Amino acid sequence: MKNLPRLLLAFLILSFGFSDFPQAQDQQGFINLDCGLQPNESPYTEPLTKLTFESDANFIKTGKSGKIQNVPGMDYIKPYTVLRYFPDGVRNCYTLSVIQGTNYLIVAMFTYGNYDNLNTHPKFDLYLGPNIWTTVNLQRNVNGTRAEIIHIPRSTSLQICLVKTGTTTPLISALELRPLRNDTYIPQSGSLKKLFRLYLTDSKDIVRYPEDIHDRLWSPFFMPEWKLLRTNLSINTSDNDYDIPEDVVTTAATPANVSSPLTISWNLETPDDLVYAYLHIAELQSLRDNETREFNISAGQDVSYGPISPEEFLVDTPFNTSPVKCKGGTCHLQLIRTPNSTLPPLLNAIEAFTTVEFPLSETNENDVIAIKSIETSYGFSRISWQGDPCVPQQFLWDGLTCEYTNLSTPPRIHSLDLSSSELTGIIVPEIQNLTQLQKLDLPNNNLTGGVPEFLAKMKSLSDINLSGNNLIGSVPQALLDKVKKGLKLNIQGNPKLCSSSSCNKKKNSIILPVVASLASLAAMTAVVAFLFVRIKRGPSSRKGPSPSQQSIETRKRRYTYAEVLAMTNNSERGLGKGGFGMVYHGYINGTEEVAVKLLSPSSTQGYKEFKTEVEILLRVYHTNLVSLVGYCDEKDHLALIYQHMANGDLKKHLSGSSIMSWVGKLNIAVDAAQGLEYLHIGCKPLIVHRDIKSSNILLDDQFQAKLADFGLSRSFPVGDETHVSTVVAGTHGYLDPEYFQTNRLSEKSDVYSFGIVLLEIITNKAVIDETREMPHIAEWVKFMLTRGDISNVMDPKLQGVYDSGSAWKALELAITCVNPSSLERPNMSHVVHELKECLISENKRTRNIDTSRSLDINLSFGTDVNPKAR
């Protein structure tokens, strides 16, 4: 505890610094929210930065105010005396007005401060619109954390959402937006998540607003291996597009050994992160005629830039226009003196970012405006009506269904159900602005006035329920005409409403129900007829239709059975056996290794599963899915030809004598999770695998994991439903118990199965073992964890060689995945993110480089900027 005041002091330094600030500059476009501040205390001017903060009460509908506790010896200063916490709902969102297409620096601050006297630090996800931005982990960063991103909003409204992912309560301390120039910080795609922002100096001062007109926070950094340059002369920063503060570039570092490069290294959260670096360089010396300073910039074998000769007292900002992937997740940036140079390289300041992709498109802007206008007009409030109405799908607003075309197309609202919502007043005209609306349900409210004629003009509308209200007058003739053409209209329970202009209530009050009933009867008749035909035909034969009857469209090559026999040398070398049949090793053109799966006469699977697998693998591609090379569909001979996976399936390695390291296990888990995530959110319609198990996870020659066997997979309906009802299929032990009991299949069924696989990976135990007190692996692990010791749960082959923090995190994630209730399970995006954090923790322990001389990036205040020279 004795270090706590020092850490808190670092927290405040990073927020405000110790410099004496001049008078505040123009804050135009700034948004400064002190979260949890009471409206009657707003606004106020923060005394050090002169920034004007206001209460967040007008920017969010939910949450409660809390006050952090003072720590002895430390007096908190605004804006960190209060916070807003969110005990209710899963997703709580701020809505901010922004300028569409403008580049913004967005900063969110979080500190717990034991405001609730529970001493329970929270962990939750932070979303930018419909896409995840980062995970806020105050269990790891107990003294507070800061999330920063540079992002261009796609509309005039920006939503920042806190999403509950476990049992702890999300909270936020401050939210800040600063507009940047639109010609700066532009990645090829995505947004820029800050790793660090440093100026090289022996000073202790943080530089921020008002010296930096964009309120970027510059942290001081210097290494003993460097030599400091400093000037008292003026530096020309006005010609620099990045508006670099002069205080940041009046110092610079050069290597003390003039023949050595200047090197900065840092570690990434995941090896696949893509990096942008912005170097701010100005010559601080007046060079003599016989002096030159010239150097190249290198970031690995494939990335180099230069030569650069800094101009005297003028700032230049070279940066990589394409993102760089650092080998092994460790970046090495070097400034290397050229043979022509008499002076060593020089660097004044540096910023580094990783890219964050935001693949999900926001709901159609006109639909969003319309649905919010409807909410305002009726004056009701639902806690789920926050953030984007349609995406992500797990946070779909109550009462809505949406159409999802693909990731890049904005979803459209297709149905609106405000049944029993205590609505009063008329049927508001804003409804007609939902131009793709197909179904409108407003029954059992207190609506008055007439049935509006605009409902007849809504071309997509096919189902209207206005029953149980107090509507009056006559139903418009245009609407009655549409009923005759198939529109379903229910107006029962409106005693003062007539179904025609003659107001013959007795006669006409039954017209519409009869029409609706006839339409329903016709639909039911069609369904019964369809089922009768299906039953009469009997179950499909194993062979299924011939190619001429039901062809499979494919760009892949279709092989004859003779060619299949040739490529496998008459099925000479077997690789294994699955539900479909035997798998054989083969070659195409004598060079390309393949695995050939032949349908066995005794197989429980047949043409339906064969066709399903071919069709799915034709329309999906991901590095963590096994690729289809070709197929054979010749009478009784069915075969699937895949890329060869040299290391077989995961189950073989878990059950055999193989010894995998903890980092190896985590890499396989991340690979498999990414493949499943792609099926769930990267495919439209989404695909549920239905048979996730360790034997369906294959490993290539580099031990990269890929999902296989899509014969039982199902494509989900688009739009209306979050599940499908289907005959239960899957493998005992891995099968979602909720799906088994209800026949209701959703992507969360895959999450359960993946959780079982993750427990297999962690424990190296059989899924079902009747000799255990708890035969099923999930129940056994839960039982063992009640003792609070993971050593008896972890794979004994690891011999205790693993990071305990990442092990606990992986176990907790697996237990969450196998929750009996699908609603309590995470989605696969969250699973991927958590597993990558486990991998980061383990990589830090196992990394071969000298970690005391490298940069470990995290979001903690006071510790997020520690690069080292090499």
864 found inside a domain: no
Mean pLDDT of the chain: 83
Burial 196-220 (b: 16+ CB within 10 A, else e): bbbbbbebebbbbbbbbebbbbbbb
Domain limits for position 708: 650-846
Cβ distance 723 to 690 under 8 Å? Answer: no
The residue-averaged pLDDT of 784-807 equals 86
* Section 539-555 average pLDDT: 37
Describe the crossing of helices 777-785 and 804-817 by its angle, rounded to 10 degrees: 130
pLDDT tens digits for range 33-87: 999 999 999 899 988 889 999 999 999 999 999 998 864 434 444 556 899 999 9
pLDDT at 603: 58
Is residue 691 flagged as an active site residue?
yes
253-266 pLDDT, tens digit per residue, is: 999 999 999 999 99
Check whether residue 689 and residue 807 sit in a common domain. yes
Question: Longest C-alpha distance within the chain, in Å?
Answer: 107
Residue 836 lies in a domain: yes
pLDDT exceeds 80 at position 605: no
Strands 705-707 and 424-425: unpaired
Our CA angle for 7, 41, 62, nearest 5°, is 80
CB 545 within 8 A of CB 613: no
Task: Write down the pLDDT at residue 847.
Answer: 55
Here the CATH number for the domain that contains residue 607 is 3.30.200.20
766 and 788 assigned to the same domain: yes
Residue 145 located in a structural domain: yes
C-alpha triplet 533, 538, 539: angle, nearest 5°:
120
735 and 701 together in one domain? yes
The pLDDT of residue 852 is 33
Cα 811 to chain center, whole Å?
21
Q: What are phi and psi of 816, to 5 degrees?
A: -65, -40
| Structure confidence at residue 18 (pLDDT) | 33
Contacts of 813 (CB under 8 A, 6+ apart): 755, 758, 826, 831, 834, 835, 838
Which range, 167-176, 378-387, 725-734, has the best average confidence (pLDDT)? 167-176
User: In this structure, is residue 550 part of a structural domain?
Assistant: no
Distance CA 34, CA 59 (A): 11
Please tell me whether residues 107 and 146 are part of one structural domain.
Answer: yes
- Residue 153's pLDDT band (cuts 50, 70, 90): very high
Same domain? 227 vs 319:
yes
Q: How far is CA 684 from the centre of its chain?
A: 17
Same structural domain for residues 482 and 592? no
pLDDT given for residue 849 in this prediction:
32
Looking at the fold, whether 575 and 631 belong to one and the same domain comes out as yes
Residue-level pLDDT at 556? 56
533 occurs within a structural domain = no
Instruction: Kindly list the distances between the CA atom of residue 505 and the CA atoms of 427, 472, 496, 497, in Å, as whole numbers in the listed order.
Output: 22, 12, 9, 8
The pLDDT value recorded for residue 529 is: 42
pLDDT tens, position by position, 389-433: 999 988 999 999 999 988 878 999 999 999 999 999 999 999 999
Residue 813 has pLDDT above 50, yes or no: yes
Lowest mean pLDDT among 172-181, 437-446, 729-738: 729-738
pLDDT at 619: 67
Q: Which residues pair with 631 in a beta bridge?
A: 558, 640
| Domain termination residue (choose one: 153, 180, 207) | 180
Strands of 82-85's sheet, edge to edge?
Answer: 64-67, 82-85, 171-172
pLDDT at 554 over 80: no
- How are strands ordered across the β-sheet holding 131-137? 91-97, 157-164, 123-128, 131-137
Higher-pLDDT residue of 718 and 582 is 582
Pair (671, 815) in one structural domain = yes
CATH of the domain at 113: 2.60.120.430
Lowest mean pLDDT, pick from 135-144, 476-485, 676-685, 833-842: 676-685
Q: How confident is the model at residue 515 (pLDDT cuts 50, 70, 90)?
A: very low
Q: How far is the C-alpha of 189 from the C-alpha of 195, rounded, in Å?
A: 17
Length of the chain: 870
The predicted pLDDT at position 869 comes to 36
We report the CATH number of the domain holding residue 772 as: 1.10.510.10
What sign does the CA torsion over 48, 54, 59, 65 have?
Answer: positive
Alpha carbon 674 to its chain's center: 11
Classify residue 608: in a domain, yes or no: yes
User: Within a domain: residue 532?
Assistant: no
Pair (89, 132) in one structural domain: yes
Indicate if 782 and 740 belong to the same structural domain: yes
Q: Is residue 606 part of a domain?
A: yes
Residues 547-560 as b/e (b if ≥16 CB within 10 A, e otherwise) read eeeeeeeeeeeebe
Same domain, 294 and 257: yes
Q: Which two tokens stand for residue 22?
A: 């001049």
pLDDT band at 804 (very low <50, low <70, confident <90, very high): confident
Quote the pLDDT of residue 697. 95
Q: What is the pLDDT of residue 19?
A: 35
- Which pLDDT score is estimated for 262? 96
The pLDDT of residue 579: 62
Instruction: With a cut of 70, say whether residue 275 has pLDDT above it.
Output: yes
Domain-terminating residue out of 180, 213, 242: 180
CATH number at residue 259: 2.60.120
Q: What secondary structure, in 3-state letters, does 566-633 show? A: HHCCCCCCEEEECCCCEEEEEEECCCEEEEEEECCCCCCCCHHHHHHHHHHHHHCCCCCECCEEEEEE
Buried residues in 854-863 as b, exposed as e (16+ CB within 10 A): bbbbebbbbb
The residues, ordered by sequence, that sit 6+ positions from 9 with a Cβ below 8 Å of its Cβ are 74
Mean pLDDT of 296-310: 87
Segment (H or E) for 535 = helix 511-537
Residues 667 and 804 in one domain: yes
Distance CA 839, CA 856 (A): 13
**804-835 per-residue burial string, b: 16 or more CB within 10 A, e: under 16:** ebbbebbbebbbbbbbeebeebbbbbbbbbbb
- Lookup result for tokens 């003779």: 562
* Distance in angstroms (rounded) separating the CA atoms of residues 807 and 576: 32
Query: Over 70: is that where the pLDDT of 528 sits?
Result: no
Query: Which of 441, 633, 691, 856 does the annotation list as catalytic?
Result: 691
HEC letters along 310-378: CCECECECCECCCCEECHHHEEEEEEEECCCCCECCCECEEEEEEEECCCCCCCCHHHHHHHHHHHHHH
Structure tokens at 329: 């997740």
Give binding residues for ATP as ranges: 597
- Predicted confidence at residue 856, as pLDDT, reads 36
What is the total count of domains within the chain?
5
Task: Give the lowest-confidence range in 8-12, 85-89, 743-747.
Answer: 8-12
pLDDT at 533 > cutoff 70: no
| CA atoms lying within 13 Å on the CB side of residue 153 | 23
Report the pLDDT averaged over residues 807-826. Answer: 93
Q: What percent of the chain has pLDDT over 70?
A: 83
Q: What is the pLDDT of residue 623?
A: 81
Question: What single-letter amino acid sits at 387?
Answer: G
The DSSP letter of residue 463 is E
Average of per-residue pLDDT across 100-105 = 94
Q: How far is CA 53 from CA 44, 80, 820, in A?
A: 6, 11, 45
Domain boundary among 343, 358, 373: 358
pLDDT tens digits for range 758-771:
999 999 999 999 99
pLDDT of residue 33: 96
Average pLDDT of the residues in 553-581: 77
Q: pTM of the prediction?
A: 0.58
Say what the pLDDT of residue 791 is: 86
